[in-house]
Amino acid sequence: MIKTSTHPLDHLVLPTRSLDVARARLTSLGFVVAATGIHPFGTENACVFFADGTYLEPLAVGDGQVAERAIGEGNVFIARDRLYRERLGEEGFSAVALATANADADHMRFVEAGLSAGDILSFSRAFTDTNGKSDTASFKLAFAAGKEAPDAFLFACERVNAPKIDRTALQAHANGVTGIVEVIAVSDAPSAQIGLISTAADAIAAGAGDDTVRLPNAILSVVTPESYAQRFGLPAAPSPRLRFQAIVFSIRDKASAARALAAGAVDHNMSGNDIVIPPAPGQGAAFIFREIP
């Protein structure tokens, strides 16, 4: 069943052991990586921003003691990050964030559906652009997770205060990536998992089709490991649970992207209009570069 949502994709969370490793890997892929951002609850990130308004959030634990204290205080974001790392390791793709104008309303929807992962989280952090100009970014998050989906979660992300800085230079990637067009999750039983994504995205049915939720700016798909392997030539471990597996990026020109990858000595495979890049340390998901006219 294809479903449509009014909640756009905001960003994707990619746990990593080391931001230095993630920064080096993403740079070799032709991405511009922002300065390190420090959270007030023990984690830190090195984001990659795109012209379509979405971004990647490579996430590392910067201060284990602060993170431990945050978990004890009921911080869902840190608790889910810890759970992911304990179950699946330090490198991966743990969460999808959906943009919202009202995280409180989304939280109530999650509670009523029996899919709330815990209390709302409000926080701020400093943000610095490539010219050294700083401002404060503030967020309010509402979390959704299924009892049978401990390896993935989604959250509604309200940007309470967007920093007033110029991100143009951070969005000019050598590989030509302009945004995210699809997020792919894997499960042995896609139809049993699509409900969590549908609830998180506040999606409604729009006719028969695959286990897919169509956001205003991207697609969220759940496929079997077999379908995933056929589509991209990459393995996916069997699991009845939901696991985020791959990210499809839009690129301007496949030849230019291939040159950027070659310059970074990155292994990749060509498949039709796609360039397939397997996961690696600092890159917790498969990256698919797709030329879109």
Q: At what angle do helices 103-112 and 190-201 cross, to 10 degrees?
A: 140
pLDDT at position 2 over 70: no
Give the pLDDT band of residue 207 (cuts 50, 70, 90): very low
Task: Output the CA torsion sign for 22, 27, 29, 30.
Answer: positive
Residue 80's φ and ψ, nearest 5 degrees, are -70, -35
For residue range 38-82, list pLDDT tens digits in order: 999 999 999 999 999 999 999 999 999 999 999 999 999 999 999
For residue range 125-161, list pLDDT tens digits in order: 877 776 777 778 899 999 999 987 899 999 999 998 8
pLDDT at position 171 over 60: yes
Between CA 58 and CA 266 the distance in angstroms is: 19
Give the pLDDT band of residue 162 (cuts 50, 70, 90): confident
- Please list the residues that pair with 159 across neighbouring strands: 139
Tokens at 51, concatenated: 């012209």
Residue 226's φ and ψ, nearest 5 degrees, are -65, -45
Give the pLDDT band of residue 209 (cuts 50, 70, 90): low
Model pTM score: 0.94
